[in-house]
A and B are shown apart, each in its own frame.
Chain A
Amino acid sequence: MLCLNKAGTRLASTMKLSGRIIPLLGAGLLMSPAAAMAEGMPQLDFKTPLTLSQVVWGAIIFVVLYILLSRNALPLVASVLEERAAKISRDLDEARAAKATADDGLAEADQATAKAKAQAQAAISAALNEAKQAAAVQAEALNARLETQLRDSEAQIAQARASAMSALRQVATETAATVVTRLTGVSPDAGRLDNAIGSALSARGIG
């Protein structure tokens, strides 16, 4: 209690109140152990003023500590933590923006690729069509030429055959006449010979 007058602050005067309550309560709550251990326990030795003065000094120290912590030290920590949180969220925003830009670029690239692909496809199919058409025209021309050649050849063959066929009757007639003359010594009648040759040839499907 001695130091209370010396401290003389408002704080100390508030502690005076609790300073009175504390021994009352303490004595009331711990009466039974106090009776048994009053001599033994220095914590309950109220003969010395130190037991209560430490509470008053403790209150002063606690309040000073509270003021220093709440006014100075804790806001210091809070400012650092806020700074960090702000920086982190700023960095995150930046990263998000960068990602958006990258995504846009990627989409653009994708689009360009798709466009280029489509263009290339179109060019390929156009070229293919053109080549097909050209090939078709060429093939047609070739066909036509071959056809005419074929027709010409066929006509030549037919002509050659016809001439060969007309020569065949004459050769057969002459041969038959010669053979008959050699066998019989008499040259055959031209009209009968011609008839016989004609029927023989027609029997073989020629002439």
Chain B
Amino acid sequence: MAAEGSSSIDALGQFQLHPALGAIGGSVNFTQSNLMMVVAGLLVLALLWVGMKPRAMVPGRLQAAAEMGYETIMSMCTETIGHEGRKFFPLVFTLFFFILFGNLLGVFPYFFTFTSHIMVTLALSLFVFLLVTVVAIKEHGLHFFSYFVPKGIPVALAPLMVAIEVISYLSRIISLSVRLFANMMAGHVMLEVFGSFIVMLGGIGLLGYFPAALSLGVNTILIGFELLVATLQAYVFAILTCIYLHDAVHLH
């Protein structure tokens, strides 16, 4: 997150990928992004394994957190998708907590935000898209393609409507991935810019102390905002996945 020089702001350098885990990681192109994914995954598993260890009738804090996460995602699945939602629950849970912990870890200084990489979010959204399509075809066979023909439209308008429906269906990949990526990247660029302001203005001398302190204040607020965005975007990704799965299972 540090600015390279005091004269220019390198807001994008923080997204640079580096090999992680020394020579072994370097030889298999294992990046610091992947290291954060592993950390995020281990934190999710730790939350459940350590949290549920007491198996208490009246849960403690960590167990309550683990159970709350479980029940929140479970109700999200069953309420959005329907009773078939239980099948997709482990997947939605994994998606939500993988993205949530990835987003939240990124707020720590010197940590890397893997959800700020469009390739990662694109892979996730493409996976969701393919899964939804496969589920829909498996569930409805060729009848699935009636999804693109809205009911009760004039025959003359049908080609246009079908084209629009297909485009809107395909654009889910972009909207899902770009939403997450852009939110995370924008937040971290803002943090970097204001962080650099602190260093640059603080370096000027006495005159710069006040604006530097102001930038510090802005960054403090941004960190709080970033926490909100991190949670919100993970939720949005999960709930949209649920909505797409609902469409796949019920075809409207």
Interface positions of A (Cβ within 8 A of B): 2-3, 6, 18, 21-23, 25-26, 29-30, 40-44, 48-55, 57-59, 61-62, 64-66, 68-70, 73-74, 76-78, 80-81, 83-84, 87
**Interface residue from B12, B117, B130 paired with A54 (Cβ < 8 Å):** B117
Contact call B185/A43, Cβ cutoff below 8 A: yes
CB-defined interface of B32-72 with A at 8 Å, one 1/0 digit per residue?
A: 01100110010011001100100101000001001100110
Contacting residues, chain B, for A30 (C-beta < 8 A): 118
Contact call A51/B98, Cβ cutoff below 8 A: no
Contact call B30/A57, Cβ cutoff below 8 A: yes
Q: Does B138 contact A (CB under 8 A)?
A: no
Please, could you name 29 A-B residue pairs with CB atoms under 8 Å apart, sorted by A? Answer: A3-B29, A25-B122, A25-B126, A25-B173, A43-B118, A50-B17, A50-B31, A53-B28, A53-B30, A54-B17, A54-B34, A57-B28, A58-B33, A61-B41, A62-B94, A65-B41, A66-B90, A66-B91, A69-B90, A73-B45, A73-B52, A74-B89, A76-B48, A76-B49, A77-B48, A77-B67, A77-B70, A80-B52, A87-B57
With A54-B117, A74-B48 in contact, do A62 and B37 touch (Cβ < 8 Å)? yes
Interface positions of B (Cβ within 8 A of A): 12-13, 15-19, 28-31, 33-34, 37-38, 41, 44-45, 48-49, 52, 55, 57, 63, 66-67, 70-71, 89-91, 93-94, 98, 114, 116-120, 122-124, 126-127, 130, 173-174, 178, 181, 185
Contacting residues, chain B, for A62 (C-beta < 8 A): 37, 41, 94, 98, 124
Most buried by B among A26, A59, A74, A77: A77
Contacting residues, chain B, for A26 (C-beta < 8 A): 118-119, 122
Q: Give the distance in Å from the alpha carbon of A70 to the alpha carbon of B48 in the complex.
A: 12
Contact call B123/A59, Cβ cutoff below 8 A: yes
Specify the main secondary structure of chain A where it touches its partner: helix
Q: Give the distance in Å from the alpha carbon of A148 to the alpha carbon of B44 in the complex.
A: 115
Contact call A41/B31, Cβ cutoff below 8 A: no
Contact call B67/A43, Cβ cutoff below 8 A: no
With A3-B28, A76-B48 in contact, do A22 and B94 touch (Cβ < 8 Å)? no
**Interface residue from A3, A18, A76, A87 paired with B52 (Cβ < 8 Å):** A76
**Interface residue from A51, A66, A70, A73 paired with B119 (Cβ < 8 Å):** A51
Contacting residues, chain A, for B181 (C-beta < 8 A): 43
Chain B residue with Cβ nearest A65:
B41
Contacting residues, chain A, for B33 (C-beta < 8 A): 54, 58
Contacting residues, chain B, for A53 (C-beta < 8 A): 28-31
Contacting residues, chain A, for B127 (C-beta < 8 A): 18, 59
Contact call B12/A41, Cβ cutoff below 8 A: yes
Contacting residues, chain A, for B173 (C-beta < 8 A): 25
Contact call B94/A66, Cβ cutoff below 8 A: yes
Contacting residues, chain A, for B13 (C-beta < 8 A): 42
Contact call B90/A70, Cβ cutoff below 8 A: yes
Contacting residues, chain B, for A54 (C-beta < 8 A): 17, 29, 31, 33-34, 114, 117, 119-120
Q: Give the distance in Å from the alpha carbon of A18 to the alpha carbon of B173 in the complex.
A: 13
**16 additional contacts, CB 8 Å, given A18-B126, A62-B94, A80-B55?**
A2-B29, A22-B119, A29-B174, A41-B15, A43-B181, A48-B17, A52-B119, A53-B28, A55-B120, A57-B30, A65-B45, A65-B98, A69-B90, A74-B70, A77-B67, A81-B67
With A42-B15, A50-B17 in contact, do A22 and B29 touch (Cβ < 8 Å)? no
Contact call A65/B118, Cβ cutoff below 8 A: no
Instruction: Give the top 5 A-B pairs by smallest Cβ distance, nearest first.
Output: A70-B90, A53-B29, A73-B48, A50-B17, A57-B34
Contact call B119/A55, Cβ cutoff below 8 A: yes
Contact call A65/B55, Cβ cutoff below 8 A: no
